[in-house]
Amino acid sequence: MVALSMKTVLKVPEEQAWLEAAQTFIQESLCPTDKEPNVQFTQSVIDCVKTVWLSQGKYQGFTLPLSYSFVSVQNLRTHQRLPCCSHLSWSSSAYQTWAQKARPNGVPLPRERLLLVGTLTDLSGDLEQGSRNGSLYVKDNTGMLSCELIDLDLSWLGHLFLFPSWSYLPPARWNSSGEGHLELWEAPVPVFPLTVSPGPLTPLPVLYPEIASRLLRHRSKFRVEQHNLAGKLIQLSALVKSKKKAYFILSLGELSPTVSQAISHVSIIVQIPAQLVWHRALCPGKAYVLTQLRVSRIRGHHYCVWMTSPFSHLMLLEPECVQELELEGPFLETDSKSLPTSSNFQDKKEPKGLMRDSRLLHYTGIVTGVLNEPAGLYELDGQLGLCLAYQQFHDLRRVMRPGVCLELQDVHLLQSVGGGTTRPVLASCLRGAILLRGFSCQKPGTQSSLQTHGASLYEQLVWERQLGLPLYLWAVKVLEELACKLCPHLLRHQQFLQHSSPGNPSLGLQLLAPTLDALALPSRSIRNAHKEILEEPHHCPLQKYAQLQTPCSFPTLATLAEEGRHRAWASFDPKELLPLPEAAHLPCCQLNHRLAWSWICLPPAAFHPPQALVGVLVASSHKGCLQLRDRSGSLSCLLLAKHSQPLTDPQLIGCLVRTEKFQLVVERDVRSNFPSWKELGMTGFIQKQQARVYAQFFLADALILPVPRSFHHSSAPPQTEPTCLGQSRLFLLSHKEALMKRNFCTSLGTTSEVPKPTLSFHVSGCWLGGTQKKERIGWGPPEPLTVENKDQKVLLIFLGSSVRWFEFLHPGQVYRLVAPGPATPKLFEVEGSSCTSQRPLELAGCVSCLTVQDEWTLELESAQDLPDMLGIHKALSGSLLTDLLGANVTDSLVSFSAEILSRTVCESLKPVCQMKPGNTEVRRCVKLTVAIGTADSEFLPRLDIYIEDPHLPPPLGLLPGARVHFNQLEKRISRSHNVYCCFRSSTYVQVLSFPPETTVSAPLPHIYLAELQQGNWGPFQATASCHVISVVSLQLLWVCAHCTSVCPQGRCIRQGPACSTQTSISQASIRLLVEDGTAEAMVTCRNYHVAAALGLCPNEWTSLLEFIRKPGRVVLKFTGPGAQLESSAKIEEPLILYLHTLCTSPSVLRPVVLSFELERKPSNITPLEPPRLQRFQCGEFPLLTRVNPRLQLACLCIQESSEHPNSQGAFTSSC
């Protein structure tokens, strides 16, 4: 070791140890490796440290910073894992004052007592000129670190410095290079004195901007040689880096411009690698001289510019050292030619009034927030947005954090950009420079995965898809929302936000592509940096913009479902669901049943902005339905491949789904006990309310993105994971039963607990060939089958986790049942089952029963690939209409397709004796009224379908307006010979189409009554113009709203037990005999239709009902010329006389337009009565003719005929 000579005698052992350690470090890390250790070199480094240390004035009696230790570049990179700072010239109080600037919103950089000495250079590792790219580095013998310096003096490059104040930031998570960087807070202190280059002996001849720009325009008339240019720096562009080269452009203006020289400036391109570091040294507003410039033409442009040569130098302008070069020639005369202009600046396709111009300005501010670092979005001064995405800001990104001071040159100000952005935004294009004016004392915050991925994807949005700023800000916001929705539980951030390439597309960009393609400006040219910087008027993607109306939003599934529930209950109004006068005549049981179920359908346009549905498609093993899932939860959904085609491919599980065409359905289930219609506005009578929310859409309207297995998080469903080993077997599905809770017996002695019903379903079909084993290229050949095993029918039981396959299994399809793992002999040939007895197998015609295991998977096979399956008929099975509505009950299971007309809740069809003891809750039943679709009938017959436990709640999609195929319903015949159907365990429901978003009620067909007596099916509801012949009967009464007993004088007369309520309601019915010249019909009118039949106005009808309140009931039957009275009390003669006179007056017996429906649904059970002989008197001649039996109709509406206006004459007064 070389001895160290000191001028002073060391008195403290700590100083001696510190000097020895410093000597060792300097010789190993700083001394030139090609020279012997130099005592003077070591002493110079230590003297430099002492000088800076003593400059603080509070060194506590020590001439050496004993608490500091030297650190090499390698030690910083390998051992310093946390951000830190070191300030040799600062006292403790100065550091505390400095650290207070970071609070209260941030944490200051922790202070480490480290000494950093190194060479400042722009070489990235070697001496080749091509290795320079404008970056700065601190270098020693152990390595180099990139650094940022606020004010660079070009004379510092290549010299050894002590850095008195600096901070080190380890590599961020997004930094793929894994290299940290230095922030040099103060000017470095040279270890050795810097040599000052002497000025020129003679004044340097220079050209000023006005003459230099004229020289470019008249270059053909004058031989342009290399010249020196001088002027004030008025514009500095960004440092542009491409694959071929890097460059920047600066503009020099006149030192003291006159009015005519105000716009005179000359642009200079700097692209020599060794000169790129000038970009860090240039300061707008200062005057410079650039030497040995040449004129060059830019490829692809029609004009020439000044460009530096390899021998060019940059220096500050000193007036006494320069002399203006005098040139002679006609081109020196002043001309009016302008600078290069853009030929495509005006876009004629842009609509006037919609586009706005941004403002170019200079701005200096402090970063107060990081909005989205990979996207280049920050907050300035707490009130402005800053977008750096339209520049290449990779080097600046590592420095950006709250507290950084920036000077923005030629930055665009955009206001009211829309798309969810409310604040003004500053955005910098390639023309403007972003200059660092101050570092941040805050410690960088912890970065989430969302903040570290996606930079390349955001660059792709700007540089390849050419998005304008409003659309770019919206796209960044949406990508951030989608990443929060889906990552990291369902997808990984890195793959979701990766750069999109032809062979490796980005999921995030694919989700946005439909909207971006619709909103992006057509045929926008690729950005040209030279045009963007040089041409006047300035034109760039930020120059013109239009306020963006938010095209759509991507809410979380939980938010969407909650919004649907909120709107459903906000719109729930019993008075609107049961409007007067209909509600006034309903007893409380019917009233509450009518309110028990209702629904609303919300299309995307019902929200503002329109909503888009995004989620990962999964199959639920708890509910047996499909769900869209994100981080917030799951949303049940009903999918159809397209109209009338169900979902059949299980490979859709795990795919990413996006759709803007969907229906958000909210089914409201209400338990209430309203006494009567008068209390409908009182919410206290609602006992319980719940909502079922789900979405339904067509797969053809959705964007389906298969997600590679590596994209899924470890918690994603494993049902579609490919396996290397396994065996499989093909089967043709012929029948599928309902998904419901069933009882399964367990093996004896396994458990003492009573087994609970398990959610499950059965399918039956037949095997197609034998078992196949997995091979490298696919499935091997099937194993040979014996004669008795060919065409073997099988019953497959799905329970537990295998319930998830329910939505994909449909009759007529061929599936492959795959069992992963090592091959097991006869795995798919198990005879019988412990879960079912032999009797159901015999009834199903199946030989064996097999329980599908949880880990088994399903694959859809194409029947075209199977030679034995070309004759498969996949059409939905259906019963003949004559069998369906006939009296034949030998085949009680029927199938048909129908449109649901209405859905209501009614009392259970099961007798009370079948209810469980102690269960006081009224069992309810869902009633569907459907119109059966037939190809040979103009009018669709109607049928009622009842759904009871254990099939409640009904499957998704059974809504009014939907078209559904019902398979194997149980047909029943009522005592009144009506046909109806019920759900059974064998029932299978397939939704064919969704309800239309807009319903237009078609008018009822206008027919003759005789058309209903023809052999074909007539309309169930229609309108006819007819004449009221006579009134057959009339009944007016007041009944108890609770038990429907008669209420004379408003009191219920029920005995044992007495009725608890005294609320009464009015009810009425009248039977009319009508004819239209073709047939006769008996029409029954009820409640408020009776007033229209009698021709009474509302006030008269109300007064009449009040007269009936006292006796409680009045019944009139017209069997002849007189009236027979039947009532619960003695009635005064005037009331009888009034009703009798009214019913026989022309006010009732008049022409009307009658809207009606058949009183009994059509069927073939009871044959039509044969025509009967009836005598008519035509003048003096009696006629005997055959007359068809009278039709039985129920009134829907009575309107006055336009040919015979209503007039009651003397019987009523005007209302």
**How far apart are alpha carbons 357 and 361 in whole angstroms?**
13
Q: Which residues contact 262 (CB under 8 A, 6 or more apart)?
A: none
Closest CA to 931 of 901, 961, 957: 901
**How far apart are alpha carbons 1069 and 1190 in whole angstroms?**
19
- Indicate if the pLDDT at residue 864 is higher than 50: yes
Q: Which helix (H) or strand (E) holds 696?
A: strand 686-698
> What's residue 941's pLDDT?
83
**How far apart are alpha carbons 179 and 265 in whole angstroms?**
41
> What's residue 1059's pLDDT?
79
**How far apart are alpha carbons 1041 and 584 in whole angstroms?**
10
> What's residue 379's pLDDT?
95
Residues 278, 284, 290, CA angle at the centre, nearest 5°?
Answer: 45
Residue 1082: exposure state from Cβ atoms within 10 A (0-12, 13-18, ≥19): middle
- Strongest mean pLDDT among 525-529, 567-571, 1055-1059: 567-571
Question: Is the alpha carbon torsion for 550, 556, 557, 563 positive or negative?
Answer: negative
Q: Which residues contact 47 (CB under 8 A, 6 or more apart)?
A: none
Question: Which residues pair with residue 1026 across a beta bridge?
Answer: 1152
Residue 891 — pLDDT band, cuts 50, 70, 90? low
Torsion of the alpha carbons at 280, 283, 289 and 294, rounded to the nearest 10: 60
> What's residue 524's pLDDT?
64
Question: Which residues pair with residue 434 across a beta bridge?
Answer: 408
**How far apart are alpha carbons 57 and 55 in whole angstroms?**
5
> What's residue 870's pLDDT?
40
**How far apart are alpha carbons 587 and 1041 in whole angstroms?**
4
Residue 1171 — pLDDT band, cuts 50, 70, 90? confident
Tell me whether the omega of the peptide bond preceding residue 706 falls within 30 degrees of 0, making it cis.
no
The single-letter code of the amino acid at 1073 is: L
Quick one: what percent of the chain has pLDDT higher than 90? 47
**How far apart are alpha carbons 622 and 804 in whole angstroms?**
8
Query: What secondary structure, in 3-state letters, does 18-34 show?
Result: HHHHHHHHHHHHCCCCC
**How far apart are alpha carbons 126 and 405 in whole angstroms?**
33
- Indicate if the pLDDT at residue 630 is higher than 50: yes
**How far apart are alpha carbons 281 and 154 in whole angstroms?**
7
| Pairing mode of beta strands 1181-1187, 1172-1178 | antiparallel
**How far apart are alpha carbons 940 and 950 in whole angstroms?**
30
Phi, psi at 27, each rounded to 5°: -70, -35
> What's residue 1058's pLDDT?
74
Written as one string, the DSSP assignment of 83-106 is -EEEETT--HHHHHHHHGGGTTTS
**How confident is the model over 817-826, as pLDDT tens digits?**
999 988 888 8
Compute how many other C-beta atoms are within 10 angstroms of the C-beta atom of residue 709. Answer: 11
Cα–Cα distances in Å, from 658 out to 563, 663, 705, 818? 19, 13, 8, 29
**How far apart are alpha carbons 896 and 886 in whole angstroms?**
14
Q: SS3 for 404?
A: coil
Residue range 542-568: mean pLDDT, rounded = 93
Using the structure block, give the residue that is written with the tokens 């309108």: 1023
229 within 8 A of 206, measured Cβ to Cβ: yes
Q: At what angle do helices 13-29 and 39-54 cross, to 10 degrees?
A: 120
Written as one string, the DSSP assignment of 857-887 is EEEEE-GGG-GGGTT---SPP---HHHHSSS
| Pairing mode of beta strands 143-149, 114-121 | unpaired
785 within 8 A of 770, measured Cβ to Cβ: yes
| Pairing mode of beta strands 663-672, 597-602 | antiparallel
Phi, psi at 216, each rounded to 5°: -70, -35
> What's residue 832's pLDDT?
46
Closest CA to 996 of 704, 661, 666, 659: 661
> What's residue 1208's pLDDT?
45
Torsion of the alpha carbons at 397, 399, 404 and 406, rounded to the nearest 10: -60
**How confident is the model over 661-698, as pLDDT tens digits?**
999 999 999 999 998 888 898 989 999 999 999 999 99
47 within 8 A of 58, measured Cβ to Cβ: no
DSSP E strand boundaries for 812-862? 814-820, 848-851, 857-861
Q: SS3 for 826?
A: coil
Closest CA to 353 of 552, 550, 544, 549: 544
Higher-confidence residue of 226 and 790: namely 226
> What's residue 723's pLDDT?
45
**How far apart are alpha carbons 672 and 939 in whole angstroms?**
37
Residue 445 — pLDDT band, cuts 50, 70, 90? confident
307 within 8 A of 271, measured Cβ to Cβ: yes
Q: Choose the weakest-confidence range: 127-141, 172-186, 293-307, 716-730.
A: 716-730
Residue 714: exposure state from Cβ atoms within 10 A (0-12, 13-18, ≥19): exposed
- Indicate if the pLDDT at residue 911 is higher than 80: no
**How confident is the model over 364-413, as pLDDT tens digits?**
999 999 999 899 999 999 999 999 999 988 888 889 999 999 999 999 99
Closest CA to 1011 of 929, 1076, 1084, 1073: 1076
> What's residue 497's pLDDT?
87
**How confident is the model over 699-738, as pLDDT tens digits?**
999 999 998 765 555 444 444 444 457 899 999 999 999 9
The single-letter code of the amino acid at 893 is: L
369 within 8 A of 402, measured Cβ to Cβ: yes
Q: The tokens of 67 are what?
A: 């608490």
**Cα–chain center distance at 336:** 57
Radius of gyration in angstroms for the set of CA atoms belonging to the chain, rounded to a whole number: 45
Residues 905, 910, 915, CA angle at the centre, nearest 5°?
Answer: 105
Using the structure block, give the residue that is written with the tokens 């790219």: 133
Q: Choose the weakest-confidence range: 78-82, 760-764, 833-837.
A: 833-837
Whole-prediction pTM: 0.85
Residue burial 845-856, b: 16+ Cβ < 10 Å; e: rest: ebbbbbbbeeeb
Closest CA to 121 of 107, 133, 109: 133
616 within 8 A of 490, measured Cβ to Cβ: yes
